[in-house]
Amino acid sequence: MTESPPRSGVTIEVRGLRKRYRSTVAVDDLSFTVEPGMVTGFVGPNGAGKSTTMRIILGLDAADEGSALVGGRPYRVLDRPLRTVGALLDAAAVHPGRSARNHLLWLAQSNAIPRRRVDEVLDLAGLATVAKRNVGGFSLGMRQRLGIAAALLGDPAVVIFDEPINGLDIEGIQWIRSLLRSLAGEGRAVLVSSHLMSELEDTADHLLVIGRGRLLADTSVRELVTTASGDRVAVRTGMRTEAMTTLANAGALATITDGETVTVSGLPVEHVIELLTRDGVAFTGVSAHRASLEEAYMELTRDAVEFGAAAGREG
Amino acid sequence: MNGPVTATTHRTTRTAGPLPAAGRPGFGWLLLSEWTKLRSVSRWTVALLTAPVLIILVGLLSAASSQAGNPDSTVSGPDGTWVQDRFHFVHRPLTGDGSVTTRVASTRLELSVPQQDGGDGRTQDVERTVWSKAGLMVKDGLRPGSRYAAVMVTPGHGVRLQSNFTTDIAGPAVGAPTWLRLTRAGSTISAFQSSDGVSWTPAGTVTVPDLPQTVEVGPFVASPAGILMGERQFGTVQFERYPTTTRAVFERPTLEPARATGAASGEPQDGWRDDEVNDEAGQSGPPLPAGARPDKTPQAGPPAAEWAGDRLTLVGVGDIAPRTKSEDVIKLGLTGAYAGLMALVAVAVLFVTTEYRRGMLRTTFTASPRRGRVLVAKAMVVGAVTFVIGLVAGVAALLITLPITRDNGFLPPVYPDWSLIDPTVLRAIVGTAGVLAAIAVFSLALGTVLRRAAGAVAIVIVLIILPQLLAGALPTAAGQWLMRLTPPAGFSVQQTVPHYEQVPRICIPENGCVYDQPWAGFAVVCGYALVTMAVALWLLRRRDA
C-alpha cells in the first residue's frame, strides 16, 4: 500500500451520513465537503451532531449509512493517520499523571514521527517551558494548547478541531484564530466546530450550519448574512395606512410593527423610498435592516435547538 | 493560568525537517508507544515496583515462619532422593551374573489395626491405593538406601520392575499367582514373568550402575501404610494413617547358577538368610529429646520367614520408594506471587480503563485506527513488564529465603539442595512469572470488556482469592475441580517436588497441586487470558470508541 499524503489539496467528503443512538437520531443524511485552503466553521447548537460527525470522520464511531472520506479514503485505512489528519476532540482527554511531553511522545511514536517533532509542536503551542510538568496541573487553556500541539504533530493536511476556543482567555482566542488562519493559508483543510457563531465570525471562510443532525446551510459567511437579512426595510411614518397601501400595491409584504413603524420585506430600500415619494407618503426615516451573523444563525437554528432532556451525547 | 506565549504571533506550523511519509509504521512503533504510556505515569511505576517488594516480603515472612518437621528417617537413595527402604528380605549372595526365579503363589494385604467403623469404605480405599509389593530383588547389601532392582506383583498395578527407588516400569498386568524371574548381566537387570514357569514374557530391563560383583538376591515383601484424607473441617485437613502388612507365599525360590554354600543338608531353605531391612531402625538413635514422638514406640518387626518344604511365607511391612513431603521450599519462597499479583492486576486494568474514563482511547484510536493492533500491543507491553517483574522478584525471593529455610531445618536429604538453574526450580520461577503475565493480560482484556476499573479488578481478585478460600471448605473433589478451572490453577507450576506414579500422593487442592503436569495449570490461565482477549478484540472493533 502506498500512501504519499499530499500536504495540501486534501478534502473531507461526507456523503449521506446517518447515525442513530438507540432512539435518538444524531446525524441525519448529512452531506458536505470541507475544502483545502480555507477555514470551514461547523456550527450548530449543542446536541446538533457536530461531535458525532467528527467522530465518524475520524473512524471512531461507525455510521449507519453514508460515508466520510479523508483525501478519498476512509480514515480507518490510513497508514499514518496523524500525517493526514490532526484532530482535537476533547482537551480533557489526557492522563493527568503524564507530562505534556510524554503525552505527545507516545502519540508521535504510534505514527513513527521523530522525537524532534514533539519539541517543535511544544514550542509552537507555547508549552516548551511546561513540557515536563504533569498535565493534571494544566489549566483548560493549556490543555487546549496541548491538544492543538498533538493535532499538529504529524504536520497534517487536514485539521479538525472540536470547540477549540472553549475555555480560552482572550489571548488564547486570538492565538487560535491566527493559527487557524495560517493553517488554512498553508493550504490545509481546516474544520472547526463551535456552538457560538460569534466565535467563528471573523475566522471562518465557509460555514456549515447543522441542527438536529441535519445540514441547515452550506454557505459562505457573506451569503448567510444576506439571506438572513431578507431585504427588510423599516419605515417610520405617521401615515401608516397610506404606506401599507402603497407598498402592498407594489407587491411587498408590509406589516405594522409598532406605533410608528412599518416593516417591509421583499423590496430593496431604494425602491421603497421611490414608491413612498411617488405616492406622497411622508416618512421620517427609512432604514435597511441588516442581520448580524448571530441573528442569521439564530434564525436558521431556531427550530433545531434541542430543548429539554435530549441530553445523551454532546453533539 | 495563561500559556506563556504571545497571543498574536506564532511560529510556523510546518516541520523543520521532513517527516516519514509512506508506509504503515511497524508494530514495533506501536509497542514503543504503549510502553511510553505505561512508563510515563509515575503512579503506575510505583504500583509496579510495589509488586516485587510484596513478592519478596511475603516470601520472607513465609520462610521465617516455616519449620521443617522431624523426619522419621533421613536415608537417601543412590541419587540423593529421600527414601523409605523397609521390607522383609530372604536372600542369599550372588556373585557375577545369574538369575533368581520364584512363583508368587498368593499375596494378602491386611490392615494391621482393624477398623471398628468398617462401614465407611476406608478399608477398601486403603486396599485400592496402597502399593504392596511382593517379588524378587537384587540389592547391594542390606544397608537401607543401597542400590537395587526388583520385580514384583502389586495388587491393582500388575507386574512392575523398579530400581533405585525412583525408576518404575510397568510389566504385564497380572497378579499373583505368577512366576517371576530377575536376571543380572553386569549392571543390566532384566525381569520376566510367566504363568507356567516355562514360557517367559519380558517385563522390562533396567541399568543399575555401580552394582558390586556380589549382590544379595531373593524374595521380598513390603507393605506401605495407607494415608487417607480425613473429613475436612473449615480450613483444616486431617490425615489418617492405616498401617498394613502383606503376607506373601513364594514357591521354589531358586538361584542360577546354583551354588552350594555352607553345609548342604539338602533342605530348600539352606543358604537363604532372613532379614528385615529397615531405614527407620537405628535412625531414632542419638538426640531424641524427652517426650518427643510419644506415639513412636519402636515397632516390633514382622514375624520371621516360615518355610514349609519349598514354600516360603513372608510377612512384610514398610515400603521401598521415595518419601513424600508436604512442604515445597521453592513454592514457599514464591508464595508472595499472590500478593504481588494484586498490584500488577490493578495497573494492568488501569492501563486500559483510564483511557476509557478520560476519552483518551479516542486519541489512541485516531492515532492508530487498527484497534486490534493497539490492544495486542498493550497486552504485550503489560505481559512483558509483569513477566520481567515476576522473574526478577522470584529469583530475589528465592535467594533471600534460601538461608532462612536452611536455618529452619529444611536440609537434605529431605529437602535437597537446589540451585537456580535446576530445571524444576527454573520452571517454577519462569512459570510463576508467566502466570503473573497471563493474569495481567487477562486483567487488561477484562478491563477492555467492562470499561470500568473497579469491576474488572474486583472480578480478577475474586477469581484468584475465592477459589482458595472455598477449596478449603468444599468436599475435596469439588475443591479440586474449582482449583483446576480457575486462574489459581496456574500456580501449580510452582511445584518442584517430584511425583512418582508408584507413590500415592496426597493433594490439598488449595496448595496448588491440582495438576500433576506443572504446565497444565499454566495453560488454564493462558486460556483465560486468550479467551478474554478474543472477546475484547471483538467488542473493540464492534463498539463506537
The model's pLDDT over B272-295, given as tens digits with 9 standing for 90+, comes to 999 999 998 765 444 434 443 434
Residues 108-127 of A with CB under 8 A from B: 109-114, 116-117, 120, 123-127
The Cα of A111 is separated from the nearest Cα of chain B by a number of Å equal to: 6
What pLDDT is attached to residue B263?
A: 47
pTM: predicted TM-score of the whole model, two decimal places: 0.85
What pLDDT is attached to residue A192?
A: 96
Residues linked to residue B163 through DSSP beta bridges, in sequence order: B149, B167
Distance CA B453, CA B424 (A): 36
Q: Give domain status of residue B453, yes or no.
A: yes
Residues B254 and B353 in one domain: no
- In this structure, which long-range contacts are made by residues A305-312, counting pairs with CB atoms below 8 Å and at least 24 apart in sequence? A305/A45, A305/A211, A306/A45, A306/A46, A306/A47, A306/A48, A306/A212, A310/A24, A310/A47, A311/A47, A312/A21, A312/A24, A312/A47
Nearest chain B alpha carbon to A81: B367
Nearest chain B alpha carbon to A184: B13
Provide the grid cell at B222: 513390603
Residues B111 and B194 in one domain: yes
Reported ipTM: 0.82
Cβ of B369 within 8 Å of Cβ of A59? The answer is yes
Provide the grid cell at A131: 513540557
Residues linked to residue A194 through DSSP beta bridges, in sequence order: A43
ω before B177 within 30° of 0 (cis)?
A: yes
Distance CA B182, CA B102 (A): 9
A174 inside 8 A of chain B by CB: yes
Residues B307 and B341 in one domain: no
A182 inside 8 A of chain B by CB: yes
- Please classify residue A148 by burial: count the beta carbons closer than 10 Å to its beta carbon, then call 0-12 exposed, 13-18 middle and 19+ buried: buried
Instruction: Give the amino acid at A30.
Output: L
Residues B100 and B57 in one domain: no
What pLDDT is attached to residue B487?
A: 94
What pLDDT is attached to residue B259?
A: 65
Residues in chain A with pLDDT values less than 70: 1-8, 228-231, 290-292, 303-315
What pLDDT is attached to residue A223?
A: 80
Q: Which residues of B touch A26 (CB under 8 A)?
A: none
Residues B110 and B228 in one domain: yes
Q: Give domain status of residue B289, yes or no.
A: no
Cβ of A150 within 8 Å of Cβ of B7? The answer is no
* CATH number for the domain that contains residue B190: 2.60.120
What pLDDT is attached to residue B293?
A: 42
What pLDDT is attached to residue B291?
A: 41
Distance CA B491, CA B483 (A): 10
Residues B305 and B366 in one domain: no
Residues 212-251 of A with CB under 8 A from B: none
Cβ of B36 within 8 Å of Cβ of A175? The answer is no
Cβ of A2 within 8 Å of Cβ of B23? The answer is yes
Cα–Cα distances in angstroms (integers) from residue A164 to residues A42, A230, B47, in the given order: 12, 32, 35
What pLDDT is attached to residue A311?
A: 40
CATH 3.40.50.300 maps onto chain A at 12-226+297-301
Q: Give domain status of residue B12, yes or no.
A: no
Residues linked to residue A218 through DSSP beta bridges, in sequence order: A208
What pLDDT is attached to residue A276?
A: 86
Q: Give domain status of residue B14, yes or no.
A: no
Residues B129 and B36 in one domain: no
Distance CA A181, CA A7 (A): 16
Nearest residue to A43 (alpha-carbon basis) of A161, A151, A152: A161
- What is the DSSP pairing of strand A206-211 with strand A39-43? parallel
Does the CA dihedral B424-B428-B430-B434 come out positive or negative? positive
Cβ of B21 within 8 Å of Cβ of A5? The answer is yes
The class of domain A231-290 in CATH terms is alpha beta
| Counted domains in chain B | 2
**Interface contacts A/B by beta carbons within 8 Å:** 179
Q: Give domain status of residue B69, yes or no.
A: no
Distance CA B266, CA B285 (A): 41
CATH number for the domain whose boundaries are A12-226+297-301:
3.40.50.300
Who among B10, B21, B365 is closest to A60 (CB)? B365
Residues B98 and B154 in one domain: yes
Residues B278 and B385 in one domain: no
Cα–Cα distances in angstroms (integers) from residue B395 to residues B58, B328, B331, B521, in the given order: 14, 16, 12, 21
Specify whether the backbone of B240 is left (phi greater than 0), alpha (psi in -120 to 50) or beta.
beta
Q: Which residues of B touch A145 (CB under 8 A)?
A: 3
Distance CA B69, CA A82 (A): 66
What pLDDT is attached to residue B514?
A: 82
CATH 3.30.70.100 maps onto chain A at 231-290
Residues B307 and B436 in one domain: no
Who among B10, B25, B33 is closest to A80 (CB)? B25
Q: In what order do the strands lie in the sheet with B148-154?
A: B167-170, B158-163, B148-154, B133-139, B214-222, B87-95, B273-277
Expressed as residue numbers, the domain containing B226 is 83-283+296-322
Helix (H) or strand (E) holding B85: strand B83-85
Distance CA B61, CA B335 (A): 10
What pLDDT is attached to residue B282?
A: 63
One digit per residue, the tens of pLDDT, for chain B of length 545 reads: 444 444 344 556 676 667 766 678 889 999 999 999 999 999 999 999 999 999 999 999 999 999 888 888 889 999 999 999 999 999 999 999 999 999 999 999 988 665 555 556 677 778 888 899 999 999 999 999 999 999 999 988 999 999 999 999 999 999 989 999 999 999 999 999 999 999 999 999 999 999 999 999 999 999 998 888 776 666 677 778 888 999 999 999 999 887 655 445 567 778 899 999 999 876 544 443 444 343 444 456 788 899 998 999 999 999 999 998 878 999 999 999 999 999 999 999 999 999 999 899 999 999 999 999 999 999 999 999 999 999 999 999 999 999 999 999 999 889 989 999 999 999 999 999 999 999 999 999 999 999 999 999 999 999 999 998 888 888 888 888 999 999 999 999 998 888 888 888 777 887 778 888 889 999 999 999 999 999 999 999 999 98
Orientation of helix B423-450 relative to helix B453-471, angle to 10°: 130
Selected for mutation to probe chain B from A51, A95, A177 (highest B CB count within 10 Å) is A95
What pLDDT is attached to residue A225?
A: 72
Q: Give domain status of residue B76, yes or no.
A: no
Residues B42 and B98 in one domain: no
Residues B145 and B234 in one domain: yes
- Please classify residue B234 by burial: count the beta carbons closer than 10 Å to its beta carbon, then call 0-12 exposed, 13-18 middle and 19+ buried: exposed
Orientation of helix B27-39 relative to helix A100-110, angle to 10°: 160
The Cα of A103 is separated from the nearest Cα of chain B by a number of Å equal to: 8
Provide the grid cell at B191: 525381569
Cβ of B9 within 8 Å of Cβ of A178? The answer is yes
The Cα of B44 is separated from the nearest Cα of chain A by a number of Å equal to: 9
Orientation of helix A221-229 relative to helix A293-301, angle to 10°: 70
